[in-house]
Structure 1
Amino acid sequence: MENQPSHPTQTSIASGKPVNWIRGVVFTALFAALFIAFCFVKIPLWFTPIPITLQTLAVMLAGGLLGARLGFLSIFLVVLLTTAGLPLLGGNGGLAVVFGSSGGYIWMFPLEALLIGFAGDRLFARSSKLSRGGMLLLFVSLILFGVALAYVGGVPWLAYKAKLSFSAAMSGGCYPFLFGDTVKAIAAVFLISKLRPLMPKL
């Protein structure tokens, strides 16, 4: 008797695709929750409407650990739901938040996760363990896509909303945060390089 072709569902399960899909959904939700939690860690500054937060670190980890597609989705979903009115960004939500003085930074978060994930995917495609050169490239990508890109969107919008000059917006929305963002990038390099090889296939 000839072997009968297996049922499509059985073939799919055997190939592990449903399992990988479920894992992808779970990890996307987990990193979205991590991003929300990190948004509640904030230190207001008296001279600027932009607080110190851990949002940037969450975005770096989402892109670096989940990859481009799922990293983008995890952050984009939070921004989308916040726009719809859910109080997810430090207990605040709605159009007033997304289009407020810090809106330029918020819009860039999903794009940052996408580009960081793209860079991480390329680096870890070569080897599961990064060399010193690979870690340096990862750090550079985090600085470019996770730090500089945020200011590209955030500073001009802050200047527009707060009616500031560009130099004043840089003083209130960029310079005070550069050291902290660099420290976050260093921490993210360490965490991504150690944890990414342990991540299941998504």
Structure 2
Amino acid sequence: MKKWTTRGLIFSALFAGIMIAMSYLKFILPFSAVPITLQTLAVMLAGSILGARYGTLAVLIVIGLAAVGFPVLGGRGGIAVLVGPTGGYIFSWPFTALLVGLFAQRMKQNKYTFVKLLLVNFIFGALFAYPGGVGWLAYNTGMESLSKALTAGMWPFLPGDFVKAVLCAAVVSAVWKVYPIERILGRDSGVWLDEEKATV
């Protein structure tokens, strides 16, 4: 198993701070307990730029801080927030960061890099979070209708998620040109190690 690098740990902490800052940029919907925030964009960026291991760590740092009461989720924290209506989305973030990171650290840069990043982040960084998020929202709020749960927890957010995926793909494509993901992972550019495949 490849060792953790100091550079990767520092970047994980940095992206945890970015995620916390972006959680304050939110818009409350009058018909839903789920706000529109930029936290999902931060998760996408963490997975895409840091890879699976360090991207997941960045998200876990934020969730851990929230669990012990620090107001890192839009000014809120504590177990009550984590098991509240949005808890399903929050606990999906480590898995979305992991999946995005696994694909990102194996992605070869070429003329299709932007499109590949867009698809990976929209599918695994956004859509993947909805089954658990909507399911827990419905259970937590007592919704008996799937259509109501989807209206409150999914349909209004899809256009914004696509825009976030576009922004993430644009930012990461630019970042990779000057700071390839291999530098975060502590390996030479162009070398793909089998041991990275199963590590988080």
Q: TM-score, normalised by structure 1?
A: 0.85
Equivalent-residue separation in structure 2 for 1:197 and 1:84 (angstroms): 38
Q: Deviations over 1:88-145 (max 9, x none)?
A: 101111111000000000000111111101110110xx3xx3322x332221111111
* 2:28 is aligned with 1:44: yes
More helix by share: 1
* 2:141 is aligned with 1:157: no
Once the two structures are TM-superposed, the CA of residue 31 in structure 1 deviates from its matched residue by 0.3
Q: Deviations over 1:19-38 (max 9, x none)?
A: x8221121111100000001
Q: Which amino acid aligns with 2:92?
A: M
Equivalent residue runs for 1:109-124 within 5 Å: 109-123=93-107
1:57 to 4, 23, 41: 41
Larger relative contact order (C-alpha < 8 A, sep ≥ 6)? 2
Match of 2:196 in 1: none
2:54 alignment partner, SS class: helix
* 2:157 is aligned with 1:177: yes
Q: Does structure 2 retain, via aligned residues, the 8 Å contact 1:38–1:53?
A: yes
Q: Deviations over 1:49-77 (max 9, x none)?
A: 11110011000000000111000000111
Q: How many residues align?
A: 180
Match of 1:3 in 2: none
Name stretches of at least 5 consecutive residues in structure 1 with no aligned partner.
1-16
* 2:177 is aligned with 1:197: yes
1:48 alignment partner, SS class: coil
Equivalent-residue separation in structure 2 for 1:188 and 1:56 (angstroms): 10
* 2:8 is aligned with 1:35: no
Q: Does structure 1 retain, via aligned residues, the 8 Å contact 2:12–2:57?
A: yes
2:91 alignment partner, SS class: helix
Equivalent-residue separation in structure 2 for 1:199 and 1:103 (angstroms): 34
Q: Does structure 1 retain, via aligned residues, the 8 Å contact 2:16–2:58?
A: yes
Equivalent-residue separation in structure 2 for 1:190 and 1:149 (angstroms): 21
1:50 alignment partner, SS class: coil
Match of 2:57 in 1: 73
Once the two structures are TM-superposed, the CA of residue 167 in structure 1 deviates from its matched residue by 1.1
